[in-house]
């Protein structure tokens, strides 16, 4: 049985908020120490975390620090993106989920660069037509055994 197999919506929301809190704390650590993204990612890696997820603006922050040698799996969940982020080489177990029409309108050019990189690097790309705020629950339900 997976982490969310018997969870109700409140439990799922609570776990997601806990994950966001952890990302916030890492972000605050980076800000307070003025050390930058790589030190925070090194700290996470020392904790033996095998996967990391970034949703929306958090996905954009994750792309800033993306390094395929740091984590076994990276989940980019309907992320915001910049041109520089779209030019990175995404290799390994990257799961790129997108489909909210607002993000597609704004980041369509960037997504068109990221999608082939993820696919060619051996990752998974899913275009899902759903509301942006439903992506985390979908991701945690579908990929619960890989997180």
In a domain, 23, yes or no: yes
CA 59 from chain centre, in angstroms, equals 5
Residue among 4, 126, 6, 51 at smallest CA distance from 22: 51
In a domain, 21, yes or no: yes
In a domain, 2, yes or no: no
Taking the C-alpha atoms of residue 139 and residue 104, their distance in angstroms, rounded to an integer, is 18
Q: Nearest 5°: CA angle at 104, between 20 and 61?
A: 35
Q: Total domain count for the chain?
A: 1
pLDDT higher than 50, residue 15: yes
**Mean pLDDT comparison of 16-30, 54-68, 105-119, highest-scoring range:** 105-119
In a domain, 4, yes or no: no
In a domain, 135, yes or no: yes
pLDDT at residue 50, rounded to an integer: 78
Question: Residue 71: which pLDDT band, with cuts at 50, 70 and 90?
Answer: confident
**Residues with Cβ within 8 Å of residue 127, at least 6 apart in sequence:** 98, 99
pLDDT above 90: percentage of residues in the chain: 49
In a domain, 147, yes or no: no
pLDDT higher than 90, residue 122: yes
Length of the chain: 147
pLDDT higher than 50, residue 33: no
Question: Residue 66: which pLDDT band, with cuts at 50, 70 and 90?
Answer: confident
In a domain, 1, yes or no: no
In a domain, 129, yes or no: yes
Taking the C-alpha atoms of residue 97 and residue 94, their distance in angstroms, rounded to an integer, is 10
- Its domain, for residue 47, covers 9-64+72-142
State mean pLDDT over 16-45: 54
pLDDT at residue 104, rounded to an integer: 87
Taking the C-alpha atoms of residue 18 and residue 107, their distance in angstroms, rounded to an integer, is 28
């Amino acid at each position: 049985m997976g982490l969310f197999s018997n969870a109700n919506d409140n439990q799922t929301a609570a776990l997601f908020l806990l994950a966001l809190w952890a990302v916030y704390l890492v972000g605050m650590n980076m800000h307070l120490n003025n050390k930058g993204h790589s030190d925070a990612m090194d700290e996470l890696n020392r904790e033996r975390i095998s996967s990391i997820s970034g949703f929306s603006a958090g996905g954009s922050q994750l792309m800033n620090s993306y390094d395929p040698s740091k984590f076994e799996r990276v989940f980019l969940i309907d992320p915001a993106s910049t041109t520089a982020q779209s030019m990175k080489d995404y290799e390994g177990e990257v799961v790129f989920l997108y489909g909210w029409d607002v993000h597609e309108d704004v980041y369509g050019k960037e997504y068109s660069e990221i999608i082939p990189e993820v696919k060619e690097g051996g990752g998974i790309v899913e275009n899902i037509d759903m509301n942006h705020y439903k992506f985390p629950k979908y991701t945690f339900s579908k990929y619960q055994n890989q997180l």
